[in-house]
């Protein structure tokens, strides 16, 4: 920082922090007035709290669910009320965090082309519904920060040369060399747009209905901060910064993960945590693993980062029956500092991203994975490369169908393989998040994909609450079995200190067919050895090989089997998980 802050009041410390952030982002502008505006917008000149560095804002009881506001529909009730009722009914004391995907008016991309940031989409409900959910759950919401809808008032004003919006978007001469720009889509980067000044070409990272905002204009930053303040008032505790890696553009670069981008994340962190020290920032950066890790900063950027490499590596492990790549990746992952953690997920509203395994899976493994997913009904989405060619970007498939077999084809182990995947996620260092459709075993929705005309719709089914409840109550339904088994695993996890998101983790080496790791509680009183047979053949292990302490009593938390003879061997059935603990 540019000044000593040791003896200063908290508001002065905050002001100096904000000034320092802005001085890096806007070195050629007078930033004092901008700092004052941002602080005033956040009402930090009225009420400013002091955040604690390296404080863990979570523990082993924190479990998240990811869902659209209208994933479950009911009779004559707004979908947000139906969702609230469903979660209260089925997950009391099990799920405590709910990520409602963009619930604002939108024009495309199932909500991520936001047409009005300060409204709840009327077909979903209203702000009262959001507030009610936030009273019973930690509410996670998207800050769609990189772009807005072409139907947003800002862009409509831009086309008319009016404010606010006339200078909110990135204009580029199409003759510029943009070949280095990294894209997640195959659509043209620039969109020709008529304005009072003639035709202009605006930057569209994700498509022509999603126009990138120009953060080089501090007025754009001020608008985003104003939106953040509203979301805090509406009960949002966890902010998911959507596509944040793309927000700063500099010609001649790949326009990804630029230093100004990181500084903006640090600035938003400063503002948010001084408004609510218990608020959390999660960065959504679907990029190669090492680049993703950079968003922790020095525990001063994201509190959590999406563990994007986990879904493709885990699916690859379970369909090949070999955990070598997953194990190598796990050994390379640094322990998260206190005050930061990984946001673990293995399914989401999007597909299984392939960029996060660049450098982790070789080309032959990737090709085999893609082919296997296509054999199980999956689709492949593509991105454009700078040479004009296209490359697979993600696999679109419901996770339940992705695990219906192996590279050899479909088999009888689909259900056990699916439960094994979630048992691994629940036990790993980090905060686990379940996609709602995984919790209930939803399968590929080909009709919705055909109706909506894009691959991602295959995993975005809308259930009628009555129909879903019937399936969950039917013991012969796979939905019921998935639901009950996952609920049980969640219940077990929540009572184990060794499963704290920041508890110690070490990778164990028990061959390529057993993915194993050790967790130890932060007070070192509990150890859990997590053994997962990721193959379709039984695997035998000597207890001596995992160094169980003979003076302790050991029990598998899942099967409740006990182990007394440390020289004995145990056999894991196909896709069986053991959580062997010395405390229960």
Query: What residues act catalytically?
Result: 242
Given a contact cutoff of 8 angstroms between Cβ atoms, the answer to whether 242 and 282 are in contact is no
How far apart CA 426 and CA 579 sit, in angstroms, is 11
Alpha-helical (H) ranges within 235-384 are 259-275, 289-293, 310-320, 324-332, 363-375
How far apart CA 224 and CA 241 sit, in angstroms, is 11
Given a contact cutoff of 8 angstroms between Cβ atoms, the answer to whether 474 and 488 are in contact is no
DSSP codes of every residue in 350-381: S-EESGGGBTTB-HHHHHHHHHHHHHTT-EEE
Q: Is 164 helix (H, G, I), strand (E, B) or coil?
A: coil
Distances (CA, A) of 182 to 56, 410, 518: 34, 36, 38
Peptide bond into 391 cis (omega under 30): no
How far apart CA 303 and CA 501 sit, in angstroms, is 12
Give the torsion sign (CA, 584, 97, 352, 464): positive
How many residues does this entry show for the chain?
Answer: 584
Q: Which of 380, 381, 420 is nearest to 400 (CA)?
A: 420
In SS3 terms, 46-108 reads as: CCCCCCCCCCCCCCCCCCEEEECCCCEECCCCCHHHHHHHHHHHHCCCCCCEEEECCCCCECC
Which secondary-structure segment (H or E) carries 439?
A: helix 436-439
């Amino acid at each position: 920082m540019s000044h000593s802050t040791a003896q200063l009041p908290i508001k002065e410390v905050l002001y100096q922090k904000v000034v320092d952030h802005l001085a890096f982002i806007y070195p050629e502008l007078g930033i004092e007035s901008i700092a004052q505006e941002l602080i005033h917008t956040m009402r930090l000149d009225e009420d400013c709290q002091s955040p604690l560095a390296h404080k863990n804002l979570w523990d082993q009881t924190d479990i998240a669910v990811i869902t659209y506001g209208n994933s479950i529909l009911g009779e004559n009730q707004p979908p947000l009320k139906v969702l609230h009722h469903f979660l209260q009914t089925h997950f009391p004391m099990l799920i405590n965090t709910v990520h409602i995907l963009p619930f604002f008016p939108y024009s495309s991309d199932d909500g991520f082309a936001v047409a009005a940031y300060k409204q709840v989409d009327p077909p979903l409900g209203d702000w009262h519904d959001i507030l009610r959910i936030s009273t019973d759950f930690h509410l996670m919401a998207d800050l769609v920060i990189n772009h807005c809808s072409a139907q947003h008032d800002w862009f409509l004003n831009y086309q008319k040369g009016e404010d606010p919006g006339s200078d909110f978007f990135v204009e580029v001469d199409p003759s510029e060399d943009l070949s280095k720009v990294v894209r997640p889509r195959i659509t043209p980067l620039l969109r020709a747009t008529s304005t009072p000044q003639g035709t202009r070409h605006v930057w569209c990272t994700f498509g022509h209905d999603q126009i990138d905002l120009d953060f080089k204009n501090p007025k754009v930053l001020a608008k985003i901060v104003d939106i953040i303040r509203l979301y805090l008032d509406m009960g949002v505790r966890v902010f998911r910064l959507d596509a944040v890696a793309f927000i700063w553009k500099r010609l001649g670069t790949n326009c990804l993960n630029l230093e100004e981008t990181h500084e903006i994340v640090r600035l938003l962190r400063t503002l948010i945590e001084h408004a609510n020290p218990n608020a959390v920032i999660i960065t959504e950066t679907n990029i190669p693993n090492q680049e993703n890790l950079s968003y922790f900063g020095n525990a001063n950027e994201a509190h959590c980062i999406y563990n994007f490499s986990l879904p493709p590596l885990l699916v690859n492990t379970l369909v090949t029956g070999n955990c070598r790549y997953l194990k190598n990746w796990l050994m390379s992952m640094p322990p998260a500092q206190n005050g930061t953690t990984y946001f673990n997920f293995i399914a989401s509203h999007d597909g299984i991203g392939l960029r996060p395994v660049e450098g982790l899976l070789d080309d032959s493994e990737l090709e085999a994975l893609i082919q296997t997913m296509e054999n199980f009904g999956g689709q492949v989405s593509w991105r454009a490369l700078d040479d004009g060619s296209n490359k697979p970007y993600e696999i679109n498939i419901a996770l339940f169908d992705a695990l219906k077999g192996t590279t050899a084809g479909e088999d009888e182990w689909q259900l056990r393989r699916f439960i094994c995947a979630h048992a691994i996620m629940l036990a790993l260092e980090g905060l686990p998040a379940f996609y709602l459709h995984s919790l209930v075993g939803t399968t590929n929705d080909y009709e919705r994909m055909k109706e909506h005309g894009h691959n991602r719709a295959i995993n975005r089914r809308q259930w009628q609450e009555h129909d879903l409840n019937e399936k969950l109550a039917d013991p012969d339904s796979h939905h019921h079995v998935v639901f009950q088994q996952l609920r049980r695993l969640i219940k077990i996890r929540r009572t184990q200190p060794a499963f704290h998101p920041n508890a110690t983790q070490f990778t164990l080496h028990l061959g390529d067919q057993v993915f194993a790791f050790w967790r130890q509680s932060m007070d070192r009183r509990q150890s859990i050895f997590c053994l997962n047979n990721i193959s379709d053949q039984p695997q035998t292990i000597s207890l001596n090989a995992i160094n169980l302490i003979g003076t302790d009593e050991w029990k598998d938390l899942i099967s409740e089997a006990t182990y007394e003879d440390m020289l004995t061997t145990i056999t894991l059935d196909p896709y069986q998980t053991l959580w062997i603990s010395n405390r229960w």
